[in-house]
Structure 1
Amino acid sequence: MSDRTRYDEVVLDTMLYSARLIESVARQNSAVIVAMARMIAGTFEEGGKVLLCGNGGSAADAQHLATELTIRYRSSVERPALPAIALTTDSSALTAGANDLGYDAVFARLVEAYGREGDILLGLSTSGNSRSVVNALDYANMNGLKTLALLGGDGGVLKGMADLEVIVPHSGSADRVQESHIAIGHVIIDLVERLLGYCRS
């Protein structure tokens, strides 16, 4: 087998598995994903905001989705900025929190700073076991925030902690879970824009 054929198979196997996984998650969780979008749209209508947190690649996904809410998702949809804050972007806050409080407390501390009753915290964790996300959701639940979770594997410690959750049933690596998470995030934003009346197509 030539290198080209072998590498072509890697491409096909990887991308087709990811596509099948995303399809399976969509079929099993479409009602929950719609409910997440409705919760977010309703929170925006009530003047609330969305906070997002995660570690590593999930931190990047949190920032990605927050930016698409605050700036825009698609250029074809004209709308106001929607208030979303990724708790992963302030290096001074993260490093001070890690140094002074311990890293496990950093997101909870930022939820304390920015979150208000009726706001939403969306936590992302490919394992479901990120202690910093666990603590943030715990704080949010105890202080009147609504909570959402995008998880992987069997859901880990975070399973059942959020008001609504989607678990991507893939274990052993974060990559395929992250691909599903960003697809879920994108469709949620699409639905939010439709629910708020900005996108009618």
Structure 2
Amino acid sequence: MTQQCNCSEGCSGSGRYEEMVLERLLYSARLKESVARRDNDVIVAMASMIADTFREGGKVLLCGNGGSAADAQHLAAELTIRYRSSVNRPALPAIALSTDTSALTAGSNDFGFDEVFVRLTEAYGRPGDIFIGLSTSGNSSNVLKALQYARKREMKTLALLGGDGGAIKPYADLAVVVPHTGSADRVQECHIAVGHVIVELVEKMLGYD
């Protein structure tokens, strides 16, 4: 039901805001549907690769900037703690590279911000581990350089991207690209939804459902 507007003089009513809410949420839903239909097999393959890596004693490193850094931290927490598991499963080793402010600031100061995730990948990554880069544009230079380094270190590389995948996509073994440009928000909404599905699949593949 439309509420009467009680705001200051000159407001044309709340209807225009309700239309905006409808448009934004429906567009976000359509983007998710598009990704689900196009990249269903890629998402399953990502989850399978992660589950295999955990079985083999490896770990997952994640990184991104801004909201993507928050998404990286969010997904790392789902893995290290748990997602929907009804049992107290073992912790799964996942590290978000954006969480240590001392390392981030020291690395940026000493090597430059473009190299900060490379330095942390060098510290924590080992051959056979998985590197997951998140970039709404597909062009974040520090994510790109870390992903390239991870490949040289014989790590498996995954990416959650936006637009056309940008410069990062060619360096990812598997990538989900959200077909949206111009703003990060709708891409990030898809990224966290895809990430949640991947974590749920990983738990099921490891027998923790």
Distance in 1, matches of 2:194 and 2:70, equals 15
Which one has a bigger Cα radius of gyration?
Answer: 2
Find the counterpart in structure 1 of residue 14 from structure 2. 4
Find the counterpart in structure 2 of residue 40 from structure 1. 50
TM-score w.r.t. structure 2 length? 0.93
Distance in 2, matches of 1:23 and 1:72, equals 26
1:50 to 51, 60, 64: 60
1:168 paired to 2:151: no
Query: Once the 2 structures are TM-superposed, how far is the Cα of residue 74 of structure 1 from its aligned partner?
Result: 2.3
Report the residue type matching 2:53 in the other structure.
T
Find the counterpart in structure 2 of residue 23 from structure 1. 33
CA deviation vs aligned residue, 1:112-138 (integer Å, no higher than 9, x gap):
000000000000000001000000000
Q: Which runs of 4+ in 1 moved over 2 A?
A: 74-78
CA deviation vs aligned residue, 1:49-101 (integer Å, no higher than 9, x gap):
00000000000000000001001112634311100000000000000010000
1:155 paired to 2:169: no
* Within-5 A mapping of 1:38-187: 38-74=48-84, 76-187=86-197
Report the residue type matching 2:149 in the other structure.
Y
Distance in 1, matches of 2:31 and 2:202, equals 23
Report the residue type matching 1:176 in the other structure.
R
3-state SS, counterpart of residue 159 of structure 2: strand
3-state SS, counterpart of residue 36 of structure 2: helix
Query: Once the 2 structures are TM-superposed, how far is the Cα of residue 160 of structure 1 from its aligned partner?
Result: 1.4
3-state SS, counterpart of residue 61 of structure 2: strand
Q: Where does structure 2 lack aligned partners over 5 or more consecutive residues? A: 1-10
Identical residues among aligned pairs (%): 73
2:198 to 163, 188, 191: 188
Residues 75 and 195 of structure 2 are in contact (CA less than 8 Å); yes or no, is this contact kept in structure 1? Answer: yes
Query: Once the 2 structures are TM-superposed, how far is the Cα of residue 5 of structure 1 from its aligned partner?
Result: 1.0
Report the residue type matching 1:79 in the other structure.
R
Query: Once the 2 structures are TM-superposed, how far is the Cα of residue 3 of structure 1 from its aligned partner?
Result: 2.4
Aligned-pair Cα RMSD in Å: 1.1
Report the residue type matching 2:198 in the other structure.
I
Aligned residues: 199
Distance in 2, matches of 1:131 and 1:95, equals 17
Distance in 1, matches of 2:74 and 2:127, equals 24
Q: Where does structure 1 lack aligned partners over 5 or more consecutive residues? A: none
